[in-house]
A and B are shown apart, each in its own frame.
Chain A
Amino acid sequence: MDLLQNLYIGFQTSLSLINLWYAFLGAMLGTLIGVLPGLGPIATIAMLLPSMYSLQPTSALIMLAGIYYGAQYGGSTTAILINVPGEASSVVTALDGYQMARHGRAGAALATAALASFFAGTIGTLVVAAFAPPLTALAFEFGAPEYCALMFLGLVGAVVLASGSLAKALAMVVLGLLLGQINTDVITAVPRFSFGIPELMDGINFVVIAMGVFSFGEIIANLGKPPEHREIFVKKVTGLWPSKQDFHDAAPAALRGTLLGCLLGVLPGAGPMLASFTSYSVEKKMSKTPEAFGKGAIQGVAAPEAANNSGAQTSFIPMLTLGIPTSAVMALMIGAMTIMGIQPGPQVMTTNPGLFWGLITSMWVGNLMLVILNLPLIGIWVKLLTVPYRFLFPAIMAFCAIGVYTLSNNTFDVYCAAAFAVVGFLFNKLGFEPAPLILGFVLGPMMEENLRRALLMARGDWSVFVTRPISATMIVLAVGLMVMITLPAISKKREEVFVDEE
């Protein structure tokens, strides 16, 4: 009853003509900027923030939400079309989305991403409206040992991401972990492996590595081929719309992804990203044709996109119920609220219910706008791929360089990405897949931080990891998963040797 009433208050605000217009404007601006490689939601919002101070607070926040979803979807668009993942969660989308694009199915991949996101966004909005308090309680259950165990599970799952050799996947995870060690030690504040370079004190930015090893490496490899063998994406575009079979395959995957996203999204820091990685691994494990993953399986697009989007919704819960920003985007939104004279925090719900519920429902409106805006655009995006490669690749490079620069407005990141381009080219030639590296790189430092904090708070007692139920469960799952991965790998060893020799 309360829920319906609250949603009613919210829709009254978010469906007013002026706010609909701002939601549309935000979604459009977000899509246009987000589709530039490397310009993710944070850079987009930061760029557009000054233009919003003159607006009504509610309209401004609704527009911000629109920009957020627009930019996020724009990021998936580049991941699918040109293999440029703009943020950690779209790394997973790139795995199968890009392969679909290469096989002339970019339209189907983009439509699947948009529809799965919209579906997940709808469910996510309902979950936020109905279950915010219990899900907040879930976030409180997660202390350092739980996070550490979750990261451990994630790292084991990282191996599943690879479609090729297990040994190579393991090597990439380890390399990712090592790269993650470049930073400032959180417990003692000692810079590690920074060689006196101040930019390395905070570690290498994830986007720098992702762009270098995914996009640049692939571009160099393409340019290494004679022009007639170079990748021509769309030889024959087979329909812009997903087929009936596609829907049949994608729908359950999207549903599972949504549920995972709703749960994991609540956890501050890694929620939406872990959700998209996990949902991909789950789909691959559940699939009857796991070998199709990494080669253009539609489930590999639908599940992580859904998980990412519902995770992005529920990641608003700590901000809404506690006023604690759990990501950079939220910190920006809270900053915007403050400048506009609204004091963010749990009291917003009672002092300004129109704004509070308006914001929640506007998330849904933003998602709706996105679908309305992007389904017609798919044709144009796909056309983009028919641009001759000699024009396309310099454009991609230029936009990527701009995107990397905007990460912290520092040229150092651009040089760093150039270095990783060489690394990415080597990986490409040697058949090492970069996804496990990315996951190791992102999860490693978080796991280390939580491991050490867990031990610090438990005064060195390692048993905390098994005496606490959530953490123990996850460790058992991780060990189980490890056994599942290694057993068939051992039995399939001969088969793999043959594959490698081909």
Chain B
Amino acid sequence: MTTSLLSRRTFTRLLAATAVAGLGCFGLAQAQTYPTKPVTLVVPYPAGGANDMLGRLIGQKLSEGLGQQFIIDNKPGAGTLIGATVVAKAPADGYTLLVGGFASNAVSPILFKAEYDPLTAFEPIGLFGTAPMVVITFPNSKYKTLKDVVEAAKAKPGEVMYGSSGNGSPLHLAGEMFTAQAKINLTHVPYKGGSAHILDLIGGRLDVIFDTSTNSTPLIKGGKVRPIAVSSKTRMADFPDVPTFAESGYPDFTVNGWYALYAPAKTPKAIVDRLSVELQKVLKQPEVIEKLRGVGVAPASGVASELAKYGPDEFAKYTKLIKDANIKAD
């Protein structure tokens, strides 16, 4: 009994000493076997909705590729700050990852007081999708083009109303960027998430919504709303008749939703690389591409270096927009 206890203690010490001594090559050794246990994917939204669904899809495919379960952990709240903070503070061992993007890594830390710095708290693994914005209106609306909207707004400033799913949502910031670039005044009507803004648009109480393509693709296909412009660089494959913002005269309009995988900062490079390589493979599968397209998401490359530039660019862009438009939370 005593001997076994002693030996266990010695063993623990030995283990600790080895760990300290071998810290240099520790990361590498870990990455060769990674993952040895299930990986948690934190989705900073409640179950249901685009972010959760994309997280589940990517998680399922990563499981198949890496031979370990990827478990979805929904940690919603505070405009994604709660879930993102959990990952920022998690051990940097590659077993807690963030399904991040527009809100958690760019806009929410600007609008609200975050406990993490979006530029340094995470190790980028890869961008896996972007969702362009689509300007939609109700089917028999008098607005057929962006030009119609701008003319109406210039004739009667503030008369044209656009809805959004909330302050600081992509829908809102797209509206702000457009009003700034077109030098017009639109009235912003925020809603508390959900779908009430879409019902009000279809019911003709709102004039336009700058919606993400993930939300509006099924509605457009069902003929319930009419698209008048898309924010992608080229026309969307699903809606070849709808002009882009650039074609409509606003080449600098660059708001879109985006979805990316992040690890906590200081995660061993070997692990991040392993995940990024696997993500890139997943994003080449025809089935994944088809499913992403099906919900209006353009598949991205999954390359870590690309996200390392994309994230900070987005952060800088919205910091400026939010400052210029004087959208403040505190």
- Which chain A residues have a beta carbon within 8 Å of chain B's beta carbons? 42, 45-46, 49-50, 53, 139-144, 184, 186-191, 196, 198-199, 201-202, 268-269, 318, 322-326, 328-332, 334-335, 338-339, 341, 343-347, 408-410, 449, 453, 456-457
Contacts and interface: CB of A to CB of B under 8 A. Distances in A.
B330 A338 contact: no
Nearest to A199: B77
A199 B82 CA distance: 7
13 contacts: A42-B48, A189-B328, A199-B77, A269-B194, A322-B199, A324-B198, A325-B48, A328-B47, A338-B291, A343-B294, A344-B218, A347-B222, A410-B77
Contacts of B198: 322, 324
A335 B168 contact: no
Contacts, number: 161
B111 interface: yes
B46 to A, nearest CB: 6
B74 A324 contact: no
Given A143-B205, A410-B75, A453 B195 contact: no
Contact of A201 (B79, B189, B191, B202): B79
B192 A186 contact: yes
Contact of B329 (A142, A191, A341): A191
B222 A268 contact: no
B49 interface: yes
Contact of B53 (A42, A338, A346): A338
B52 interface: yes
Contacts of A42: 46-48
B166 interface: yes
Contacts of B56: 49-50, 335, 339
Contacts of B328: 189
Given A189-B329, A191-B112, A335-B48, A343 B79 contact: no
Contacts of B72: 50
A454 B35 CA distance: 53
Contacts of A328: 46-48
Contact of A196 (B113, B166, B290): B113
A189 B111 contact: yes
Contacts of A186: 166-167, 190-192
Given A345-B221, A409-B75, A456 B189 contact: yes
B221 to A, nearest CB: 6
Contact of A332 (B47, B202, B291, B294): B47
Given A318-B199, A328-B47, A408 B75 contact: yes
Contacts of A330: 48
Contacts of B200: 143-144
B286 interface: no
A187 B163 CA distance: 11
A449 B81 contact: no
B244 interface: no
Given A198-B82, A322-B202, A449-B192, 18 more contacts: A46-B74, A186-B190, A189-B328, A191-B112, A191-B329, A322-B224, A324-B219, A325-B48, A330-B48, A331-B48, A338-B53, A338-B295, A339-B57, A347-B222, A408-B75, A408-B77, A409-B73, A453-B191
B201 to A, nearest CB: 10
A246 to B, nearest CB: 39
A445 to B, nearest CB: 8
Which are the 4 A-B pairs with shortest beta-carbon distances?
A331-B48, A345-B218, A189-B167, A346-B222
B137 interface: no
Contact of B52 (A187, A269, A335): A335
B77 A324 contact: no
B24 interface: no
